[in-house]
Copies of this chain bind each other. A is one copy, B any other.
Amino acid sequence: MSTRIGILGYGNLGRGTELAVKEAPDMELAAVFTRRDPSTVKILTEGVPVVNTKDIEEWKDKIDVLIICGGSATDLPVMTPKYAEMFNCIDSFDTHARIPEHFANVDAAAKKAEKVAIISCGWDPGMFSLNRVYANAILPDGKDYTFWGKGVSQGHSDAVRRIDGVKNAKQYTIPVESALEAVRNGENPELTVRQKHTRECFVVAEEGADLARIEKEIKEMPNYFDEYDTTVHFISEEEFNKNHQGMAHGGFVFRSGKTGVNKEHNHIIEYSLKLDSNPEFTTNVLVAYARAAFRMYKEGMKGCKTVLDIAPAYLSEKSGEELRAHLL
């Protein structure tokens, strides 16, 4: 029998999850839940109901795993603990500093309900975290480096849009190529914030706005831009709509470490992602961990887990025998 998936929230992540479930031979989409009027939400999968979130409890026995496609700022801290009391749940909570608190809340709910919940699935946190943990365990004497980009930072784009006179804006985070190369060559550089990433802004200004003032406000904005080398381009709305709607992203995780009697041997572990669609890659991770969650639930496990707690084989629809014969 297929694993029955519920999707909560139908924005970019919800749509990506729907596509990922369609690719999974062992899963079926059971329902999409929305806070909007369900009659206004058109989904891709034929014959699957769109249900108002207020009726979700009626689906307790009809869904094996609920994938919660909400935002980390305000949705997930409330939603995941709430729904972990009813369902095995997956989320992509990505506010690193608040993970311990979110973990504790979800863990209490999932343990009470004897369900499995997996939080912070995606690429960072997620695949990047896995690589940090594996690489640290293997090379205890070493240094970690994480670079992000080239890709859009939602938070930085929002910050630029809040400046007076700005109509629209996108901010790209770009890793500094020479820093990447120094790490790759085993130079173990000490890198300041400025030496690791640059920031590039594409801004549509209101007619008659003071461009010099806007550029200065961006470049001097504390926390967001003041520690970086930032380039600002003013462009037309037309160009913005044509060239800056993409959701590509990516990044690099390195560990550079030493072994040997006299630490004479250097080793570089590099993991990198180049993603045409940040949300669709994230949702593919969510769906792989949904598979793991339901298996772990069936084995009697319960409580909150992260990617660090889950054996890789749980993510694959292949059996242990198949994996050992073909992928090990």
Chain A interface residues (CB < 8 Å from chain B):
16, 19-20, 23-24, 44, 96, 99-100, 103, 120, 125, 127, 129-134, 136-141, 184, 186, 259-261, 264-277, 280-281, 284-285, 288, 291, 306-313, 315-317, 320-321, 323-325, 327-328
B280 near A273 with CB under 8 A, answer: no
- Contact among B16, B264, B266, B315 with A134 in the assembled complex (CB-CB below 8 Å): B315
Q: How far is the CA of A324 from the CA of B138 in the complex (A)?
A: 18
Could you list 17 examples of A-B contacts with CB < 8 Å?
A: A99-B328, A127-B138, A133-B313, A133-B315, A133-B316, A136-B327, A137-B288, A137-B316, A138-B285, A138-B315, A260-B276, A260-B277, A267-B273, A267-B277, A267-B280, A270-B270, A270-B273
Docked pose: A312 CA to B274 CA in angstroms: 23
Chain B proximity of A119: nearest CB distance (Å): 9
Q: What is the CB-to-nearest-CB distance from A282 to chain B, in angstroms, rounded to a whole number?
A: 10
CA distance A98 to B134 in the complex (A): 26
Q: Please give the distance in Å from A300's CB to the nearest CB on chain B.
A: 14
B281 touches A267 (CB 8 A): yes
Interface centre among A103, A140, A273, A307, by most chain B C-beta atoms within 10 angstroms, is: A140
A140 with B24: CB separation less than 8 A: yes
Task: Judge whether A310 and B308 touch: CB under 8 Å.
Answer: no
Closest B residue by C-beta to A289: B137
> In the complex, what distance in Å separates the CA atom of A29 from the CA atom of B274?
42
Q: Given A23-B140, A265-B277, A328-B120, check contact A309 B316 (CB 8 Å).
A: no
User: From residue A323, how far is it (CB to closest CB) to chain B in Å?
Assistant: 6
Whether B138 lies near A134 (C-beta < 8 A) is: no
Chain B's nearest CB lies how many Å from the CB of A184?
8
Question: What's the minimum C-beta distance from A311 to chain B, rounded to whole angstroms?
Answer: 5
Closest 7 pairs between A and B when the two form their complex, measured CB to CB:
A265-B276, A137-B315, A265-B277, A259-B280, A137-B288, A268-B274, A308-B313
- A307 — which chain B residues lie within 8 A by C-beta? 312, 328
**Could you tell me the distance between the alpha carbons of A184 and B273 in the complex, rounded to whole angstroms?**
10
Q: Is the CB of B281 within 8 A of A273?
A: no
Q: Is there an interface contact between A259 and B324, defined as CB atoms closer than 8 Å? A: no
- Known contacts A19-B261, A127-B134, A308-B328, then 19 further A-B pairs from the complex at CB < 8 Å, ordered by chain A residue: A44-B261, A99-B328, A100-B321, A129-B327, A131-B271, A133-B316, A134-B312, A134-B315, A137-B288, A137-B316, A140-B284, A259-B280, A259-B281, A264-B276, A267-B273, A268-B274, A270-B273, A271-B271, A308-B324
